[in-house]
């Protein structure tokens, strides 16, 4: 667990900028882990990135699974 946690810490922002593939960021509007401004900045900095906010906490896929699946489906359908 300690090693796993160490890999979660730090700034991994440049990792996401290394690819030009289309990307989707799904954020829960009530997330205490990923703030709205940070998510917007992530989407702005990376070309071909779409940000979708859903009414949920951080675990969007668990809280609103139907809406999450619809957002992912719409994104994939746009490729």
DSSP symbols for 7-39: HHSS--HHHHHT--S-EEEEEETT-SSS-HHHH
Residue 1: is its pLDDT beyond 70? no
How does pLDDT run across 20-60, given as a tens digit for each residue? 889 999 999 999 988 999 899 989 988 899 999 999 999 99
Locate the domains of the chain by residue range: 2-77
Distance CA 25, CA 48 (A): 11
- Please state the pTM of the whole predicted model: 0.77
Distance CA 11, CA 57 (A): 22
The architecture in CATH of the region 2-77 reads 3-Layer(aba) Sandwich (3.40)
Instruction: Over range 1-25, report the average pLDDT.
Output: 70
Tokens found for residue 22: 């289309």
Maximum C-alpha span of the chain: 39
């Amino acid at each position: 667990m300690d090693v796993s946690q160490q890999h979660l810490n730090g700034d991994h922002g440049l990792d996401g900028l290394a690819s030009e593939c289309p990307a989707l960021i799904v954020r829960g509007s009530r997330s205490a882990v990923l703030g709205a401004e940070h998510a917007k900045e992530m989407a702005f900095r990376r070309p071909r990135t779409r940000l979708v906010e859903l009414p949920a906490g951080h675990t969007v896929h668990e809280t609103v699974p139907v809406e999450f699946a619809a957002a992912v489906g719409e994104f994939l359908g746009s490729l």
